[in-house]
Amino acid sequence: MRVDRSRRKRLADFPQNGDGSAPYRVLARKYRPSHFGELIGQGPMVRTLRNAFAHDRIPQAWMLTGVRGVGKTTTARILARALNYEREGEERHPTVDFVDEGVHCRAIMEGRHVDVIEMDAASHTSINDIREITDAARYKPVSALYKVYIIDEVHMLSTAAFNGLLKTLEEPPAHVKFIFATTEIRKVPVTVLSRCQRFDLRRIDGEELTQHLTMIAGKEAIEADEEALRLISRAAEGSVRDALSLLDQAIAHAGGRVTAETLRDMLGLADRTRIVDLFELVMKGEAAGALAELAAQYEVGADPTVVLTDLASFTHQVTRQKVTNAAPEPGEPQEVRERSAKYAAALPMAALSRMWQALLAGIAEVQAAPKPMMAAEMVVIRLCYLANLPDPAALPLSAAPGVSTGGGGSHAASGGGGGGARGAASVVPYAQAAPAPAPTAPAGPPMPTSFAEMAALIGAQSVKLKRSIEREMRLKRFERGRIEVSLEPEAEPAVVGQIGKKLTEMTGERWIVTVSDGATAPTLHEAHEAEQARLKAEAEKDPLVRALLARFQDAEIASVQTNAIPDGEQARSRAQGEG
């Protein structure tokens, strides 16, 4: 049945809702940017594009990469709009400075323009799909200035499809532009990447994303607490689309004002201050109190995996503050910021590092466990006992960890509950219980004093390097930290740098190995062969050896090894042998 254009338009404009109202559009689509001024968090890319368009240096292809929801497809459509921007009665030319809607803008942003072709590579992966593009690219655009091909998730194309695209991508017709988008840039062949101008769309900063959500909540006339919007920003992990989807869900869940409590209930998050309480109980080694706090958070809807993940996040925050002396994150509640700074100053690095490593392993265990809460409790118990371990820097050299050396013994072995921050305070009486004997100087790393010792030292770890040293190098100068050699014609030049690097690793000091001409010393292999020839000649003069060689006609001296025997012992042994 044929339907004329006017009827199609009336059908399209007719509202879908039964009451005559316009259909609801989710926030992620309603507030999708339509020009570069609305694109948040991608300032460097916009600046580069503006300069390229201003100086007429527009490439034939772009590659947009980034995590999900940062605006790759939206940026591709805005780019297509910029390439084909045209106003009624004016000369059309590419520009990034546009706000007013042009002739082609609406159709491009809605994905229905005849000259802007969008293809999802996840469902069109074959060479036949690419062949359709390369065949159609020869024809000029119908109404726009450029024919633009937007290929989303381009890394999903097959190898044959990528190869089929290369020639057209390198030398496309003047009226064709390609825009690729992908979340897996490493899966795109380097031959394709080298033909595109690449832009890495970064995650949106938490503060900037929170301001964006505040603006949208105001336009939607929705009351939302600032802390709730910060929680959404943190949960979205830099993705604008995820943040808007969460805000949509939070509005529906709250049924009115969006608060931090309703959001935690919706996402299964724990209160940030309660995470800090759990952190403090763990670092004190109070297992019973930590388990009670974990159970209380679980009862109000917090997911065990999320609780441990937040605990790891706070551990990272404290550790980073301790190392950098940086201020706490501005989005944190004031109480959390104050306590974070206090822990950073008081807790030893060893305790924080142990907790971080145990949490990384524990989170994986909880995710794989059939009953996550039980696994989370076991992780918390383990953390409490790890917190009771003394700081290794405070242990006396004469005592083993966990062994009491006096009246003020340690709780590390028994793991008894209660008490203060055991990761630091309980170590002091342990270390002062008995005076430690004067420590002996620790043995330093091996340090070669000759070229032969250097070859033997390296040979303990690399037989290949030892063979190169013995057969392909002639020593010109040897001193501590610097060796000068001449290379045989068959030697690999790169072996010199490998030897210097290996010596530096093994000795803990910097060694430089250089190459120069003029060395006349024999190689270590030649010196060894010459010494063997001398020893064989001496051995052949021995009466016992001569007798053996005469008795066994086919016998020969293969090698001679010397033993460090005192002269008196050697003479006595020879006399006994002759007797």
Domain boundaries, the chain: 25-200, 206-267, 272-402+410-432, 446-579
For the purposes of burial, counting CB atoms within 10 Å of the CB of 534, is it exposed (0-12), middle (13-18) or buried (19 or more)? exposed
For the purposes of burial, counting CB atoms within 10 Å of the CB of 171, is it exposed (0-12), middle (13-18) or buried (19 or more)? exposed
The pLDDT, as a whole number, for residue 410 is 37
Separation CA 419–CA 439 (nearest Å): 32
The pLDDT, as a whole number, for residue 555 is 76
Residue 519 or 17, more confident: 519
How confident is residue 436, by pLDDT bands cut at 50, 70 and 90? very low
The 8-class DSSP code of residue 51 comes to: H
Three-class SS of residue 143? Answer: coil
The pLDDT, as a whole number, for residue 420 is 39
Q: What is the pLDDT of residues 530-541, one digit of tens each?
A: 888 888 888 888
Q: What is the pLDDT of residues 441-493, one digit of tens each?
A: 455 677 888 888 888 888 887 888 888 888 888 888 888 888 888 888 888 87
The pLDDT, as a whole number, for residue 336 is 79
Instruction: Return the closest-CA partner of residue 465 out of 435, 497, 443.
Output: 497
The pLDDT, as a whole number, for residue 444 is 61
Separation CA 256–CA 83 (nearest Å): 43
Strand partners, 326: none
The pLDDT, as a whole number, for residue 24 is 77
Q: Which residue type does 524 have?
A: L
Architecture of the structural domain at 272-402+410-432: Up-down Bundle (1.20)
Q: What is the pLDDT of residues 543-553, one digit of tens each?
A: 887 777 777 77
Q: What is the pLDDT of residues 401-414, one digit of tens each?
A: 444 444 333 333 33
CA-based Rg of the chain, rounded to a whole angstrom? 37
Architecture of the structural domain at 25-200: 3-Layer(aba) Sandwich (3.40)
The pLDDT, as a whole number, for residue 234 is 81
> What percentage of the chain reaches a pLDDT higher than 70?
82
Instruction: Give the right CATH number for 206-267 from 3.30.460.80, 3.90.1150.10, 1.10.8.60, 3.40.50.300.
Output: 1.10.8.60
- Sequential DSSP letters for 306-324: HHHHHHHHHHHHHHHHHHH
First to last CA, the chain: 123
Three-class SS of residue 12? Answer: helix
Q: What is the pLDDT of residues 267-317, one digit of tens each?
A: 766 667 888 889 999 998 889 999 999 998 888 778 899 889 989 988 998
Three-class SS of residue 136? Answer: helix
Tokens of 270: 């724990």
Contact 421, 347 (CB under 8 A): yes
Other C-beta atoms closer than 10 Å to the C-beta of 71 total: 25
- Sequential DSSP letters for 493-536: THHHHHHHHHHHHHHSS--EEEE-S---SPPHHHHHHHHHHHHH
Task: Report H helices in 89-205.
Answer: 105-109, 127-136, 159-170, 190-193
